[in-house]
Structure 1
Amino acid sequence: MDWSKTKTIFILAFLILDIYLAMEFFELQDKSDYAIIQEATIEERLAAEGIEYPDDLPDDINNSFYITAKSKDFTIEEVAKLKDQTIELPNVNFEEDQSFRTLNMILDKPFPLPDVNTESKITQFLNDNIISGELYHYWYTDEEMNSIICIQSYNSRTIFQSKDDHIGMVVLHLNEDNEIISYEQSMLEQIKEVEEKEAAITALKAIEALYNKNYLSSNSQVVKIEYGYYTHSPLSNQQILAPTWHLTVEKEDEESEDFYVNALEGDVLQLTE
């Protein structure tokens, strides 16, 4: 046996094996580095497409959970305690109908809203004239319908809903002089936390979820992002609401769209009114 040739063969075999293992190692390292880069550069990808979002994103939510709630039935006794307003009840028999899922109230005297500090005046009206008015806060103004939408909160977190859902909402109707003349009210009660508490995805992750689903077009802007609760399919009585990020996106043509991202699952829901 020629030990010199055998030794050479072994050396070449080990050299080839070392080269192969080195190539495998560097390929895996490159894949790992690429994944890290992809994860770390969502901000760069947004910037590259001219997609803007607020500098002061909300803090991380460490305790996130589903909640359940029941639609409140307002009673005749509760309504009777409201001062300087009258319930509007067409074709309703007080002897048969003793509770109401939605109140329709008419003020005896219009309530004026000033041009300045309007939201604080709305808060005053809610606290002084609405059943459990402290649970609601100003949401937005519907210019087309000349009304103001106020929405219910739980633990200072907004219960998101569309105007058509109307599960925990006060709609203030105005006259031409910017005075409140009537309102509609619905309310959620017996709110309970369910499921184990988990950390919610971050606000930036919610934006990334929209980006990955192609809901963020070039040169669009996330003008608002807020954490709260939302149900995509409101029920007639018992509600199950998911912890949710609400994002308002303004497109390049200045049209706005509202989106909801489940704060635990990361699923995207687009609000259609």
Structure 2
Amino acid sequence: MDWKRASSLFIFVFLIINIWLGFLYYQKVERSNQIDTADEKILSFDKENIILPDELPNSEGVKLNYLSGRSKKFTGSNTVRDNTVIKEKIATNLPLSDIEANTLMEDLKVFIDSTPYRGTEYIISGLDRKNKRIIYEQTFNKYPILSNDTAKIIINYNKDNEAYSYEQSYIEDLQEGIGSNNKKKQVVEARRALEILYYQNELKSGDEITAIRLGYYSVVPNIEGQVLKPTWQVAVLHKNGKRETFYVDALNPQEPILK
């Protein structure tokens, strides 16, 4: 073996790796500086013709941390997706007085609290009228696990507005802190998350924020193990009629925005 040549090659590769890492670090610092510089100006959403909800969530004093957990394996013959989802029929169809969130919360409260596994840990989060589905999301300390197919209850209803079946998934063994990072941090304000979207050109004049909420979003969507981070979920109706949902890291807002 030509040791001199091998040594030169090793040094060359080492330099390339260091240059690449330096470039990544520069990008991250530059992005953070751009956001910080922009924050020095007072952003008026009214002047930018961006419509906000009447009231933004208050996160003052809210400190959160990363979560880790894994998908529960259900037993029985009605399971799918490697036993992580259970499908059940409702013994007697449940009449729904109206397909609206507030009404459904009352109509389905007794059922949700008593029938699905740990149903009290779920909250209603959406209606899919096209497919006749009512969607509940699992929570941790009252904060929802956002847009996660492994932490939902989906109730199906028919044309007569009767709930007749449901399917459930659940993340168990949820623990706060990952490795040595066990310290909770103050989450950024909801307005800060919206400002970041604006400065990253995701919000433009004529757009409307239709909903914003704080919860946990999956970093590693794996059945065997998941890592969830505190996240602001922002639903946007763009001027052109397109709808998008963005996910802004609530602890490290300089991290890339997810969709």
Instruction: Count the aligned residue pairs.
Output: 214
1:214 and 1:120 mapped to 2: Cα distance?
40
**Alpha-carbon shift at residue 143 of structure 1 (Å):** 1.7
When the two structures are superposed, what TM-score results if normalisation uses the length of structure 1?
0.72
2:251 to 264, 267, 271: 264
What residue identity is the alignment partner of 1:183?
Y
Helix, strand or coil: the match of 1:218?
A: coil
* Structure 1 residues 37 and 170, CA gap change in structure 2 (3 angstroms): closer
Q: Which residue of 2 aligns with 1:172?
A: 155
**Alpha-carbon shift at residue 63 of structure 1 (Å):** 1.1
Q: Which residue of 2 aligns with 1:108?
A: 91
* Structure 1 residues 218 and 68, CA gap change in structure 2 (3 angstroms): same
Q: Which residue of 2 aligns with 1:138?
A: 124
Alignment of 1:144-155 (within 5 A): 144-155=130-141
After the TM superposition, which parts of structure 1 deviate over 4 Å for at least 4 consecutive aligned residues? 35-38
What residue identity is the alignment partner of 2:204?
S
2:109 and 2:149 mapped to 1: Cα distance?
19
Question: CA RMSD for the aligned pairs?
Answer: 2.2
**Alpha-carbon shift at residue 50 of structure 1 (Å):** 0.2
What residue identity is the alignment partner of 1:88?
N
1:123 and 1:136 mapped to 2: Cα distance?
10
Are the counterparts in 2 of residues 170 and 183 from structure 1 also a CA contact under 8 Å?
yes
* Structure 1 residues 61 and 240, CA gap change in structure 2 (3 angstroms): farther
**Alpha-carbon shift at residue 176 of structure 1 (Å):** 0.9
1:67 and 1:52 mapped to 2: Cα distance?
33
* Structure 1 residues 89 and 37, CA gap change in structure 2 (3 angstroms): closer
**Identical aligned pairs, as a percentage?**
29
Residues 1:156 and 2:142 are matched in the alignment: yes
Deviations 1:157-186 (A, max 9, x none): 01001xxx4111001111111111111100
2:208 and 2:241 mapped to 1: Cα distance?
9
When the two structures are superposed, what TM-score results if normalisation uses the length of structure 2?
0.76
Are the counterparts in 2 of residues 210 and 216 from structure 1 also a CA contact under 8 Å?
yes
Are the counterparts in 1 of residues 71 and 84 from structure 2 also a CA contact under 8 Å?
yes
1:37 and 1:74 mapped to 2: Cα distance?
49
Query: Which deviates more from structure 2 when the two are superposed, residues 210-219 or residues 250-259?
Result: 250-259
Are the counterparts in 1 of residues 219 and 227 from structure 2 also a CA contact under 8 Å?
no
Are the counterparts in 2 of residues 66 and 241 from structure 1 also a CA contact under 8 Å?
yes
**Alpha-carbon shift at residue 47 of structure 1 (Å):** 2.2
Deviations 1:234-264 (A, max 9, x none): 1122110001011111122443211110111
* Structure 1 residues 37 and 166, CA gap change in structure 2 (3 angstroms): closer
1:214 to 201, 206, 226: 201
Are the counterparts in 2 of residues 104 and 184 from structure 1 also a CA contact under 8 Å?
yes
Alignment of 1:242-253 (within 5 A): 242-253=229-240
* Structure 1 residues 37 and 246, CA gap change in structure 2 (3 angstroms): closer
2:139 and 2:199 mapped to 1: Cα distance?
30
| Bigger CA radius of gyration | 1
What residue identity is the alignment partner of 1:118?
L
Query: Which deviates more from structure 2 when the two are superposed, residues 51-60 or residues 103-112?
Result: 51-60
* Structure 1 residues 62 and 136, CA gap change in structure 2 (3 angstroms): closer
**Alpha-carbon shift at residue 55 of structure 1 (Å):** 3.8
Q: Which residue of 1 aligns with 2:42?
A: 41
1:270 and 1:112 mapped to 2: Cα distance?
38
* Structure 1 residues 36 and 255, CA gap change in structure 2 (3 angstroms): closer
